[in-house]
Amino acid sequence: MNDQQIVALFWDRDEAAIQNSDLKYGKTLRQISFNILSNREDSEECVNDTYIKAWNAIPPEHPVRLFAWLGRITRNLSLNRFYESHAKKRGGQAAVLLSELSDCIPAGQMVEDEIDGKFLTETIARWLNSLSDEERVLFLRRYWFGDSLKSLAKIHGTEPNKLAGRMFRLRKSLKNTLETEGIYL
């Protein structure tokens, strides 16, 4: 079943929309959540909450790219749960990912209004589009999907240390691009 058909099921208020979404994207959504939370039960709850949010948002929403839309919901729910459960302690994969990006992405609370946020988003999108396909995929797999350096190194046939250096250079490139555009930490 394609995305438009699944969205149509949501619009028709047919519960098969959730079942088909889970069949098509559930495994990947659970992996996104697990990469952030490192807990299967919490990940499962976040994915279930994703489907509830989708059910409540469609209609009026009409997502064109259903996976990206569901993935963003899952990721945000997982990050919120991570922040709630780690308010007084640090640890886990998400803390590592966030600390790696902290040198090149301004904190969300520092962005004063929606226009600045849009400009930041557009700048990052342009930067991502300037990368080779391989670099873009690496960056997104690491910082959007939360894949570990070890698993990415295995996929790309390299050592985690070498890949860590490559990721450092990508973050440095992003930071330079943001600074060139007048976005400072």
Give 37-94 pLDDT, tens digit per residue.
989 999 999 999 999 999 999 999 999 899 999 999 999 999 888 888 765 455 555 5
Reported as a single tens digit per residue, the pLDDT across 128-154 is 999 999 999 999 889 888 888 999 999
Give the pair of three-digit tokens for residue 124: 């990052």
The yes-or-no verdict on residue 116 having pLDDT over 90 is no
- Degrees, nearest 5: CA angle 144-145-150: 115
Give the pair of three-digit tokens for residue 164: 């860590």
User: Do residues 153 and 160 lie in contact, with contact meaning Cβ atoms separated by under 8 Å?
Assistant: yes
Distances (CA, A) of 120 to 35, 113, 115, 129, 132: 25, 11, 9, 14, 21
Residue with the larger pLDDT of the pair 77 and 182: 77
- Degrees, nearest 5: CA angle 130-28-39: 115
Q: How confident is the model at residue 95, as a pLDDT?
A: 59
Distance CA 125, CA 108 (A): 17
Q: How confident is the model at residue 84, as a pLDDT?
A: 81
Question: For residue 20, how many C-alpha atoms fall within 13 Å in the half-sphere facing its CB?
Answer: 16
Q: How confident is the model at residue 102, as a pLDDT?
A: 59
Q: How confident is the model at residue 89, as a pLDDT?
A: 54
Range 86-106 burial, b when 16+ CB lie within 10 A, else e: eeeeeebbbeebbebeeebbe
* pLDDT classification of 111: cutoffs 50, 70, 90: very low
Q: What's this model's pTM, rounded to 2 decimal places?
A: 0.66
- Segment 104-119 mean pLDDT: 55
Distances (CA, A) of 139 to 119, 157, 180: 20, 16, 20
User: Do residues 6 and 24 lie in contact, with contact meaning Cβ atoms separated by under 8 Å?
Assistant: yes
